[in-house]
A = this chain, B = another copy of it.
Amino acid sequence: SKTTHTWVEKAAILFGHGSKSIRWIPTDDENKMDNKILSQTIQQDLKDGYQPFMVVGTAGDVSTGVVDNLKEVASICKANNLWFHIDGAYGAPAAIIPELKAMFKGIESADSIALDPHKWLYAPLEAGCTLVKNPKHLIDTYSSHPEYYNFSKDEEGQSLNFYEYGLQNSRGFRALKVWMALKQIGSDGYKKMIAEDIELSELLFELAKNHPELEAMTQNLSITTFRYVPSKNLPWENEKKEEYLDTLNEILLDRLQQGGEVFLSNAIVKEHYCLRGCIVNFRTSKKDIEEIIDIVVKVGGKTHHELQNEGQLNSINSN
């Protein structure tokens, strides 16, 4: 969909398909891929003599954490004999939470899932991972046997040579940290920690919703988006007002990032520039969430005040 991570474009260019081979499918009101348009696009491409080969579903999207209707996507892929890939770089581990089972329905049908253990499996940077339903597909794609790689006849066919499973030949042992965390934390531990992150994100959303100078925008998985909106009336309405709020929140985000107290990122939600909080750290506490609110309101108020003064100065100067 249109919300898919930029990597898909990078990959399409680098692997020789070119960015024109991509169909960016619009999203529906819930920010999920519009599966009706997906189906129509596939039919149109087939009619036009193109050969679709893969659909990328999102779980959840990088900006707001929304999970596509994966079950529908899976059946569209099945009907059209297409590879079903899920970008679950951030969100896939949340599929372990019992309450989210319905939301992730269909993930089990994916041919491949991209997943970054350095995101929601709490591994240190970097740990990228691709899960495939049929491991033979990796070997078929990546294996090569130059004459200067010696494997004894006994080993051949039995041993696991990791260079045959990906782009890299010489590889660091990044799997170790992922495996050790899995052993230490276990599925119960991950269920607990991931559920806590989601609760903290919900708390952030609630606090933003109830604060007179904040506007809560979206809450999905552990991502909350919101923005600073000065409580006293602004001198503009509609477009002009929205333009100002975009500018204000963009400057505010830069200041927050430079301030070093809070690290929020950004998201564009329904064309509004928003602050984005994504909780994927097991050390984050309720106190941290409350402080985010306090700091955003404090720095937001100060930034608004300065922008207003600059505005007045400009008015005076232009007289």
Contact = CB atoms under 8 A, between A and B. Distances in A.
Q: How many copies does the complex hold?
A: 2
A152 B254 contact: yes
Contact of A265 (B63, B148, B169, B266): B148
Interface of A: 5-7, 9-10, 14-17, 62-63, 116, 118, 125-126, 128, 141-142, 144, 146-148, 150, 152-154, 167-172, 174, 250, 253-254, 257-258, 265-268, 276
B62 A148 contact: yes
Given A15-B15, A126-B170, A148-B267, 11 more contacts: A10-B167, A14-B167, A16-B17, A62-B146, A126-B168, A126-B172, A128-B168, A128-B170, A148-B266, A154-B254, A172-B174
B148 A118 contact: no
A142 B63 contact: no
Q: Is the interface of A mostly helix, strand, loop or mixed?
A: loop
A122 to B, nearest CB: 14
A146 B116 contact: no
A98 B7 CA distance: 44
A15 B141 CA distance: 12
B125 A172 contact: yes
A6 B144 contact: yes
A213 B152 CA distance: 23
B10 A144 contact: yes
A150 B276 CA distance: 11
A152 B128 CA distance: 27
